[in-house]
Every structure is written in C-alpha cells, then in structure tokens.
Amino acid sequence: MDASAFFFKLLAILVSAKVFAEIFAHLRLPSVLGEVIAGIIIGPSILGIIIPDDTLYLLAEIGILLLLFEVGLDTDIGQLVKLGIQSSLVAVTGILAPALLGFWISNHVLNLPVLVSLFIGGTLVATSIGITVRVLVDLRQHQTTTSRIVLGAAVIDDIAGVVILALLYDFAVTGEVGIMNTAQVLGFIVVFLVIAPVLTKLLVPLIHKLYSGRRTKGMIPTIIVSLILLLAIVSHKVGAPEILGSFAAGVALARRFFLPLGSTIEHYSHDLAEKIEENMKPIINLFVPVFFVVVGASINFKVIDFGSVTFWQIAGVLTVVAIISKMVSGIWVKGSFRKKLSIGTAMVPRGEVGLIFAEIGKKSGIFDDLIYAVVVFIVALTTLFAPVLLRFIMKGEE
C-alpha cells in the first residue's frame, strides 16, 4: 500500500467514524454503534472503500490498547475486587452456557461434525470487552456497580477465550488437547495480572521525576504510551491478550489504586492521574474510533447467502443460542431483574473476538463457506444488538 492510498483510507475511517458517531449520539444511541456501522458502510459489505489489512489492524490494535488503558484509569480496583465473586459467577456462566449449549445444538440438533461444533461453541464464548466497555462509557454507566461487575466478568471472559482458542487450535492441528501447556499459560496470565499493576505503581516516583525535570514537550504521553506498549508486549509473551497489559497499566496509574508503601506514591498518583488524563485524552479520542470502524469493516455481509434456507435455519438457531446463553449469565447478580438483564446483555457482543474465531476456523479448514457465513452473521448481529438494547435497559442504573 502506498502512502497516498493509506492516507485516503485513514481519512475515510476518521471522517466516517466522527460523522456516524455524531448521528447516533444525536439519536441518543451509543456512538460506538455508529462507528461500527460506519465501518460496515465503507468496508467490503457496501462501498468497499477500505478492506482491512495488516496496517489497519495494527492501527486498530493501538485503539483498543488505549481504550482499555482509559478504562483501567477510571477503575476502582477496590470495588472490582469487592464484586469479584459476582463477576466470576457471571463470567463462568457466560463461558459454560454458550460453550456447552452451542456445542450440543450444533452437534446433536444441526448434525454438524464434532470439531466444527467445538469451534462454534468456542466462538459463542467470546465477549468483546472493547465493545462492552465503550457502550458503558457512551451510556455514562462506567462508574456503576453494574459496570464494575461486567468489567470484571469481561476480563475473565477474555482470558478464557484465549485459552479456549489455544486448546481448540491445538486439537484441530494435533488431535490432542495440551492441558499442561494451557495450565502453564493460564498461570502466567494470573501472575502477570497481579504483578504488573504493582510494578507499574512502583514506577510512579520515577515517572513523576522524569515529568518534573522535562525540557521538552510531550513527556507524559510519551512515557504512558511507552508503558502501555511495554505491558502489552509482556502480556502477549505470557500468553494473555495484549489489552490486559494496557488495562493493568491504567489500573496502576488510577487515583484509586494505592500501595502500602507510604504517602509519597499516593501523592504522586493523584498529581499524575490528572496530568495523564489531560494529556492522553486527545490521543485516545483519535485512535479508539479507528478500532471500532475496523471491526465494522471486518464484517463482510457479502459472504452471506441471504437467499439460502439452510443458512437461515442454522443462523436462526445459533443466534438465539448466542444471545440467550450470554443473557442468563446475569442471574447471579444481586439486585433487580433489570440489573441482571443489563449485565447479561452487556456480555452479548462478540465483536472482534468472534471474528478472530471465525477467521481461524475458516483458514484452518474447519469452517466451510456456509458455517463461516453463519458465524459472521452472529458476530454482526450480537455486536449491533447489544448496544441498542442496553440503551433502553440501563436508564437510571446505579
């Protein structure tokens, strides 16, 4: 891709993202939905202005890293831990219900092969943490109890999705399940999530010193973006999604995350938190919409034969399974039925995570054209369905 072609694609992404985000905000719908639909319109489904490639996927990856950093920065880790049991129950239900039901329906009702059914079950487990948290931010619900439970569950779900994908891929290639290797990776991920915020917090005095002694502009964003990238790399190396590294960085630099190491770090933290938010906001606002437009552009409706009766039979059954099996995850939450429904609905979007499963299934020869089209349809529908429903459910949520 030459420079002018890349610039044109980036121009189309940025302008369409802002235009559609404004339209949807005006309609009192989550702006993230507008950004995803912008991607669908300028992507291969309709206009074909952009076809996502490695360069655009990398730009999108920067966007999701910054989004999860921002979420971590606004996270009250004490409240997240306090609600850990409820989040864990939501996550476990949101993993087991779609996996088991998806496999059973695919294999026993739709008569699909075992390996295909396993991959469908794994795909239905996915929850797009990026879509979920952005919807909560758009609805100004990101500081509520509901949001904290969803965030905790989504983080667990994201880890589980990576582990399940690794297991299924190994099984597809070797015919065996590498339990020991998977357990080792899971152990590394847990240790990383515990240690990364603590180590980052210990760097706060150094970051403050570098900022205080600066002689050039842009010190804070340079330091913070470097830290996000470093933790994303380490996160990838231990087998975790890169976004967990950026989330850990945000949690560590949040005002509410303190270590029992004296008042110095707490003082620096309050001062730095304000500077970080002020300096990072423009960068976050620029890159995050790129991620959601690319997600939309990655959904290609042209692969779907809407005139096929078989397609609608399989897609109809599995879409119901995909939605219901996630929505029931909210039953463990204390509170009203609306609160339970809100949390269950927030776990529905499959987004980019579901597309990753679909692409791996397709490239490995596990999914044929029909099943691939079904999975793309489910990902698209759940990604677009949840934000709209949440807009009406979560009014006045606390």
What's the pTM? 0.83
In this prediction, residue 261 carries a pLDDT of 46
In this prediction, residue 264 carries a pLDDT of 46
Query: 17 Cβ partners below 8 Å, 6+ apart?
Result: 34, 35, 38, 289, 290, 292, 293
Residue extents of the structural domains in the chain: 53-393
Q: pLDDT class for 258, splitting at 50, 70, 90?
A: low
Q: Read off the pLDDT of residues 217-226 as tens digits, 9 standing for 90 and up.
A: 778 888 889 9
User: Is there a contact between 43 and 302 (Cβ–Cβ < 8 Å)?
Assistant: no
User: Is there a contact between 66 and 283 (Cβ–Cβ < 8 Å)?
Assistant: yes
Q: pLDDT class for 137, splitting at 50, 70, 90?
A: confident
User: Is there a contact between 361 and 124 (Cβ–Cβ < 8 Å)?
Assistant: no
Mean pLDDT of 341-367: 85
CA distance 205 to 42: 46
Supply 332's token pair. 């463990």
User: Is there a contact between 384 and 36 (Cβ–Cβ < 8 Å)?
Assistant: yes
CA distance 181 to 177: 9
CATH architecture of the domain with residue range 53-393: Up-down Bundle (1.20)
Q: Read off the pLDDT of residues 226-239 as tens digits, 9 standing for 90 and up.
A: 989 998 898 888 77
Residue given tokens 């100004």 in the structure block: 140
CA distance 64 to 226: 15
Run of H or E residues at 351: helix 351-363
Mean pLDDT of 37-64: 92
Supply 67's token pair. 């989004």
CA distance 366 to 347: 26
In this prediction, residue 20 carries a pLDDT of 95
CA distance 256 to 44: 44
Supply 342's token pair. 């809100």
Give the rounded percent of residues in the chain with a pLDDT score beyond 90: 30
Which residue, among 24, 3, 18, 39, has the nearest Cα to 299 in the 3D structure?
A: 39
DSSP category for residue 299:
-
Residue 266: is its pLDDT beyond 90? no
Mean pLDDT of the chain: 83
Mean pLDDT of 319-332: 92
Up-side HSE of residue 364: CA atoms within 13 Å toward CB? 18
Q: How far is CA 181 from CA 24, 95, 152, 172, 242, in A?
A: 45, 20, 25, 16, 19
CA distance 51 to 45: 10
Q: pLDDT class for 321, splitting at 50, 70, 90?
A: very high
CA distance 208 to 351: 37
E-strand stretches of the chain: none
Supply 71's token pair. 């979420």
User: Is there a contact between 129 and 107 (Cβ–Cβ < 8 Å)?
Assistant: no
In this prediction, residue 181 carries a pLDDT of 66
Q: Read off the pLDDT of residues 21-36 as tens digits, 9 standing for 90 and up.
A: 999 989 888 888 899 9
User: Is there a contact between 294 and 350 (Cβ–Cβ < 8 Å)?
Assistant: no
